Amino acid sequence: MRDAEWMDRTLQIAREALPDAPLLVASAMSGVTNLLQELATCVGTGEAGNAWQLQERLKERHLVTATRFLTGNNLARCLGTLDDSFQELAALAGALGVLRDCSARNNDAILAFGELWSTRLLYHRALEQGLDAQWLDARELVKTDDQHGAAAVLWDATCEATRRLAHPAPGRLLITQGFVGSTLKGVTSTLGRGGSDYSATLLGAALGATEVQIWTDVPGIATCDPRLVSQGRTLLELSYREAAELAYFGAKVIHPSTIAPAVAAHIPVLVLDTADPRGPHTRITAQLPHAGLKAIACKKGLALICVDSSRMLLAYGFLRRIFDVFERHATPVDLVTTSEVSVSVTIDHLEHLDAILADLGQLGSVRVELHRAIVSLVGQDLWKESSLLPRAFGAVSPAAVSMVSLGSSDINLSLVLGEADCDEAVRRLHHEFFGGTHAAL
Ligand code: ASP
Ligand code: MG
């Protein structure tokens, strides 16, 4: 939501859903979480002047929006709430700035303000329009562990709290924040950047919703990231598994965790375009879609690690020892391939890379390639089309491919190549399979 006009569009969409007892889960106004992150960084480094300027910018943006579409007492009440909230932020930023302490926990407390403000604006605007609206504090609904920055959701507690506190009804608009939650002790936490989509499916699943609609600024999930390939087409239907692979392997439209709660509760997830509500959109369901390639995604900033060891020959338990290393350093592994004497994996969390390499060094000779990218071709029954591999390799050549993985799930063919070759490879693959005179598989 960029401004008052976008908030109105959002409310128009919610208004149309009123007969279906909607819960509106909103993210911050666009760019706000990034500014809050800058603020948190300034707090950590003790740059008080910059921190103050950022707060003024944020305040101005929200106050301008409020005055643009609210009037009278309603405006006064909204400004009062926002003012309290900005004072709270100033006190927090001031105290943490003195301590130069921006731990993950305090970072979360700062980032959460964006959603608290945006939903206050939406709520007061809904009242202004005469809607029966209720503002709910997501910190009371979404319960998480204390892994601040990307907290894990405690499902049973979330479900219990949500059912107890949120009572959707036809004609009533419930409004709450995406992205934020709190620990069992009530400390504010967040679900990771882009986490509002995930909040929506979580709350939808907790309430037994019939549908979760994710309103973005692009026409659903496309055959390719529109920033890379402008001719990308909206995918009208996707399976949960395809959508999850795409989200995980780089399609930025939805947060990678979004699909899981919907799968468990069998809820269809729609991805729609706020700017064109009746335009093409993506419907994600459990239904097995038709076979063939659906989309291409990519993810950069990875490391490829190869461990070679003659000790692996005919040994057992070797893979476990390798994966133990990643587990010890709390680092998820994305792709894996093995031969009799070597194992290659990719990781995208590089914080503990040095320690991981040192530990793997005990098990064999280790090679690491940095600045790698994964290009993923996602679709149903990819193996059934024997021309897929030759066409894919032909399209990316002459870029060097350093690893290939066609998951056992048969819905994701991933190629690992250099980051610098990634965008061009994606464009060529898209052209090969979707573009120009070439028909898609
Ligand atoms: N506001 C949060 C972010 O920018 C969450 C979201 O937008 O989904 O990451
Ligand atoms: Mg988003």
Least distant ligand from the CA of 193: 1
Ligand 1 site-directed mutation target among 193, 197, 254, 274, most atoms within 8 Å of CB:
193
pLDDT, tens only, 104-150:
999 999 999 999 999 999 999 999 999 999 999 999 999 999 999 99
407 — pLDDT class (breaks 50, 70, 90): low
From 209, 244, 273, give the residue that closes a domain. 209
Of residues 193, 187, 331, 328, the one with CA closest to residue 255? 193
- The answer to whether position 241 is within a domain reads no
Cβ-in-10-Å burial (0-12, 13-18, 19+) of 112 comes to buried
| Tokens (6 digits) for 113 | 């303000």
Q: In the chain, pLDDT over 90 holds for what percent of residues?
A: 84
Q: Which residue's alpha carbon is nearest to atom 6 within ligand 1? A: 194
Check: CB of residue 72 under 8 Å from CB of residue 128: no
φ and ψ of 121, to 5 deg: -60, -45
198 with 320, same domain?
Answer: no
The answer to whether position 256 is within a domain reads: no
The length of the chain in residues reads: 441
**Mean pLDDT across the chain:** 93
Q: Output the pLDDT for position 347.
A: 96
Q: What is the pLDDT of residue 65?
A: 98
Residue 12 lies in a domain: yes
Q: What are the distances in angstroms from CA 168 to CA 117, 132, 141, 171, 208?
A: 22, 11, 14, 9, 11
Q: Does 418 fall in a domain?
A: yes
pLDDT for residue 195 is more than 50: yes
What angle in degrees, to the nearest 10, is found between the helix axes of 4-16 and 113-128?
70
pLDDT at residue 437, as a whole number = 39
Q: Ligand 1 atom closest to Cα of 197?
A: 8
With the most atoms of ligand 1 within 8 angstroms of its CB, the residue from 33, 107, 218, 254 to mutate is 33
- What one-letter code names the amino acid at 438? H
Q: What angle do CA 324, 328, 331 make, to 5 degrees?
A: 95
- Residue 439's pLDDT is 39
Report the separation in Å between the CA atom of 111 and the middle of ligand 1, taken as the mean of its atom positions.
9
* Contact call for residues 52 and 94 (beta carbons, < 8 A): no
CATH of residue 401: 3.30.2130.10
pLDDT of residue 440: 44
- 354 is written with which tokens? 């040095």
The pLDDT of residue 441 is above 50: no
At residue 438, does pLDDT exceed 50? no
Quick one: 326 and 183 in the same domain? Answer: no
For residue 195, report the distance from its CA to the centre of ligand 1, in Å: 6
Q: Indicate if ligand 1 lies below 6 Å from the C-beta of 194.
A: yes
Residues 70-81 have a mean pLDDT of 98
Number of the ligand closest to the Cα of 29: 1
Q: Is 158 in the pocket of ligand 1 (CB under 6 A)?
A: no
Q: Verify that 170 and 26 share a domain, yes or no.
A: yes
Q: Is residue 78 part of a domain?
A: yes
Domain of residue 54, CATH code: 3.40.1160.10
Question: How far is it, in rounded angstroms, from Cα 404 to Cα 200?
Answer: 34
307-331 pLDDT, tens digit each: 998 777 767 888 899 999 999 999 9
Ligand nearest to the CA of 180: 1
Q: Is the CB of 179 under 6 A from ligand 1?
A: yes
* Number of domains observed in the structure of the chain: 2
- Mean pLDDT confidence for 38-56: 96
Q: Comparing C-alpha atoms, which of 420, 348, 432, 421 is closest to residue 390?
A: 432
Residue 196 in domain: yes
Looking from the CA of residue 114, the nearest atom of ligand 1 is 1
Out of 190, 209, 228, a domain closes at 209
pLDDT on residue 230 = 85
Q: CA 292, CA 349: separation in Å to the nearest integer?
A: 31
Q: Is 289 in the pocket of ligand 1 (CB under 6 A)?
A: no
Residue 436 is predicted with a pLDDT of: 53
Which whole number is the average pLDDT over 94-107? 94
Ligand nearest to the CA of 115: 1
Asked whether residue 31 falls in the same domain as residue 159, the answer is yes
Residue 166 lies in a domain: yes
Minimum CA distance residue for ligand 1 atom 5: 194
Ligand nearest to the CA of 247: 2
Q: Which of 145, 179, 209 is the last residue of a domain?
A: 209
Q: Quick one: 133 and 30 in the same domain?
A: yes
Over the stretch 207-249, which tens digit does the pLDDT of each residue have? 999 999 999 988 999 999 888 888 889 999 999 999 998 988 8
Which ligand 1 atom sits nearest the alpha carbon of residue 255?
A: 8
Q: Are residues 62 and 164 both part of a single domain?
A: yes
Q: Are 136 and 12 within one domain?
A: yes
Q: What is the pLDDT of residue 225?
A: 87
How far apart are alpha carbons 197 and 133 in whole angstroms? 21
Q: How far is the CA of 15 from the centre of ligand 2 (A)?
A: 21
Percent of the chain predicted with pLDDT > 70: 97
Give the model confidence (pLDDT) of 272-316 as tens digits.
999 999 999 999 999 877 888 999 999 999 999 999 987 777 678
Answer yes or no: do 315 and 198 share one domain: no
In a domain, 86, yes or no: yes
pLDDT band at 382 (very low <50, low <70, confident <90, very high): confident
Is 252 near ligand 1, meaning CB less than 6 Å away? Answer: no
310 and 173, same domain (yes or no):
no
Claim to verify: residue 330 and residue 183 sit in the same structural domain: no
Domain residues for the domain of 197 are 4-209
Residues 50-59, mean pLDDT to the nearest whole number:
97
Joined together, the tokens standing for residue 380 give 């149903």
List, in order, residues 6 or more apart from 127 with CB less than 8 Å away. 74, 133
Same-domain check for residues 299 and 194: no
Residue 89 has pLDDT above 60, yes or no: yes
C-alpha of residue 193 to centroid of ligand 1, in Å = 5
Which two structure tokens, joined as six digits, stand for 73?
Answer: 């007492």
